[in-house]
Structure 1
Amino acid sequence: MGWWTIPVITLVCFTLYGIEGIGEELEDPFGYDKNDIRIDAIIEDCREEVMVLLESWKKGGEEYYL
């Protein structure tokens, strides 16, 4: 391929490094980086919803009976 080898290899290397970077992010999605999943916020929302359901159940609210 002659001189076309350099751009082709460069393109392949950047593509493979990009796939490697995506794999590293998918490997550990929870943390404190800007693009990580905020699991603490999700857990807090779930806790608040369960507490609301429990309070309604304690008061005898019939809309939450199973």
Structure 2
Amino acid sequence: MKINIDCSLILLLLSGMLALLKIGGQFPYSWIWVLAPIWIPLLALAGITIILIIAWIIGVIGVLILEKFGD
């Protein structure tokens, strides 16, 4: 198992800086950015899921229209 230490150190420093800014009151929502690696992929998956559901509904409506008005 290989761990990218540079990336881990950068993330650690950034989260530490954001925590200090939150303590100082300069950036009250820093916890959002600390959790960003979790919620950004979840938002992407939710967006893809919504697009697929809309496409499925459009397909079902199209099939119903074809069955009603088709040859």
Scaled by the length of structure 1, the TM-score of the pair is 0.45
Greater share of helix residues, 1 or 2? 2
- Greater Rg by CA: 1
TM-score when normalising by structure 2: 0.42
Using CA pairs below 8 Å that are at least 6 residues apart, which structure has the higher relative contact order?
2
